[in-house]
Structure 1
């Protein structure tokens, strides 16, 4: 069953974003509020989507806080 682990992957995509007040605690870059989409794929075919909102760093891309829409 080790072969199965390589057939499933996840992708995170930013669908829209806008600037937010605050700075990143890791690198000191600016922050933005983004609508995110997580896509779980099996053999490159998407079978599960999850939409959520997060505060991300504009410089390093770290997710500072996430919450449901």
Structure 2
């Protein structure tokens, strides 16, 4: 009998943040533009990643708008 166990996970990281003159529509705090990255790992080895730019709230962390690259 053979048993295979695979571990796949995703991590979302914020790489670079710049302030912008905007407000969050949910909580009313300031927003900023950030370079985001999602990294998919298989058995702790990254094999796929995606980068994009998004406008995020600095207080609640919600993504208000995203721009593809």
Report the Cα offset of residue 42 of structure 1. Answer: 1.4
Which structure has the highest helix share of the two? 1
Report the Cα offset of residue 9 of structure 1. Answer: 1.5
**SS in structure 2 opposite 1:59?**
coil
The TM-score with structure 1 as length reference comes to 0.83
Write out the 4+ residue segments of structure 1 that deviate beyond 2 Å after TM superposition.
none
The TM-score with structure 2 as length reference comes to 0.83
Aligned residues: 65
1:30 aligns with 2:13: no
**SS in structure 2 opposite 1:60?**
coil
1:6-54 deviation digits (Å, cap 9, x = unpaired):
x222111111010011111111111000011110111222110111000
Q: Could you tell me which runs of 5 or more consecutive residues in structure 2 were left unpaired when the two chains were aligned.
A: none
Report the Cα offset of residue 62 of structure 1. Answer: 0.5
